[in-house]
């Protein structure tokens, strides 16, 4: 019980520090941002709110100004079940990419951040 309270407290501190130190959003023309938003509609991030690796990935989303749907794989049973059944395992962060008639499940914050940077940083 003490460990759970400590973990929750530290998680909230990490979230607060993230809020205070959040990077500025990337500026794009309205047309370019609309294109990015259309492409980002095919993405969703399965995550836990206080997971440091998920926070790192959400910072990248914020910095790149990407409106990606966030799925709570910890508190939402439907999202958790989808991650397990379709993604293959309960591991976060996990980026679901729906495109070209198929779905790709990308695990690991570094791989996700690299994918997002490569795909959207120059947009």
Domains of the chain (ranges plus CATH)?
A: 2-120 (3.40.30.10)
Q: Which residues are registered as beta bridge partners of 107? A: 94
State the pLDDT at residue 57: 96
pLDDT in tens, 21-77: 888 888 999 999 999 999 999 999 999 988 999 999 999 999 999 999 999 999 999
Give the pair of three-digit tokens for residue 28. 């794009």
Lowest-pLDDT choice from 6-15, 81-90, 101-110: 6-15
Q: What is the pTM of this model?
A: 0.87
d(CA 88, CA 18): 29
Grade residue 102 by pLDDT with cuts at 50, 70 and 90: very high
């Amino acid at each position: 019980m003490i460990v759970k309270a400590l973990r929750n407290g530290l998680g909230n501190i990490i979230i607060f520090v993230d809020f205070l130190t959040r990077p500025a959003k990337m500026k794009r023309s309205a047309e370019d941002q609309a294109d990015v938003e259309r492409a980002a509609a095919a993405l969703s991030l399965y995550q836990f709110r206080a997971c440091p690796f998920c926070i790192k990935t959400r910072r990248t989303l914020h910095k790149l100004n990407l409106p990606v749907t966030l799925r709570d794989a910890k508190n939402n049973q439907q999202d958790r079940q989808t991650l397990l059944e379709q993604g293959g395992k309960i591991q976060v962060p996990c980026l679901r990419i729906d495109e070209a008639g198929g779905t790709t499940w990308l695990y690991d914050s570094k791989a996700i951040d690299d994918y997002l940077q490569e795909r959207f940083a120059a947009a």
